[in-house]
Structure 1
Amino acid sequence: MYPSILTKWLEAGALSIPKLLMHHYRQLSLDEQELVALLHIQTFIEEGSSFPTPDDLASRMSLASVECSKCLNGLIKKGCLALEKRSDEEGVIYEQFSLSPLWEKLAELVAREIKQLEEKRGQEEEMTLYRLFEREFSRPLSPIEGETLSMWIDQDQHTPELIKAALREAVISGKLNFRYIDRILFEWKKNGVTTLDQAKKYGEKFRTRQDNRPQDAPRAKANVIPTYNWLDQ
């Protein structure tokens, strides 16, 4: 007895439900009855019945046929269910339900959430950068400096990590000003520097070139700590 029940259970298969749908169905303006109706429709489609009637749904739900009909119409109006016309090889027209609109709306919703999270993260990173610059400059940034910092991120597409690295280069070189930092970022972008490791290697090469330049003896003695002028590039 039990083996036959298990066999029937396995032969019936399982319904795969995206967790994102369970997490976001309320944001799609769906209630629990509509959600269950959609899951039943998906089950019918997987079983080879692409156009379940209200009576078919009522046979599996705790709703009457009339209520199932209203539910189907509501899902279509909300853009979560589509009624499509198809034709077979003999040209016979038939109708079927499609859940494609539901998945498209869900994908758009998730994409918007991801974009909002990225924008929030970007704002937080920009604010962190702003505070870091103020700490290094030991003063509040001017409106122009704040705008320049935003332009590095939004227009020039420099990552916060690279901007921090350029700031460190300016501190090391004793040239703590925005023009100098902008020049560093410009040189990195021109030479394809996009990661911290590449920036580090490029800086080491630059310093090597600077160290190998001929210098006057008096100046060499006067400079206890070597500085590296990116503005000479």
Structure 2
Amino acid sequence: MNKSHMLRWLNEGSVSIPKMLFQYYKRVGITEEECMLLLQVYTFAESGNYFPTPEELAERMTYSSETCMEILRRLMQKGVLTIDEHQDMEKGYYSETYSLLALWEKLLLVSEPKQEKNVLSTETNLYSIFETEFGRPLSPIECETLAMWIDQDQHPSSLIQAALKEGVLSGKMNFRYIDRILFEWKKNGIQTVEQAREYGEKFRKYQSRTKSSSDPEPKKKVTYPFYNWLEQS
């Protein structure tokens, strides 16, 4: 090899890839194509580009930018790739970066295969349930929100599904409404579906009595099956 070429090659540097990624990516539920895209995101970050575009990723891969976007969405849906937001209040600067922290955490957790398998299965099922109810793939922001409910807010899967059901039956199919339900439940110490059901019944009874007392004339009995959580202070 030409000496100048060798020096150029060495000057490009190298990337240190955790061995655990190659050992356990299958257990985390990542495919080979997803793993390769993660490696590209990782190498971009090593070079100082923490938020490569699908077009930039596609230039290094055999996939189109549209396919890269779809793979990114799947990785965020699986909870192994997240988007961090950064803002400099003084300079008015706002930026976004990809984070692989969730991936490293999941790789560490696979040392307990049974527990990790159950966690991953729960998360995957939740994403599928939401996409089925919404009738479309979840957006990256929605995937981030769902991951936050699970990992950061520690909402039980059963309560997340119960909140989704409340949203579906009340005709309010959006994450803001569901997030508000979960917020109210957590604020009031609701930890089980049964407690959530009892809590909702109390509000419905209260709302029904308030409505009846405000009516000047007797009317046909009206039931209010769902509480508008967005109006709760």
More helix by share: 1
Please say which structure displays the higher CA radius of gyration: 1
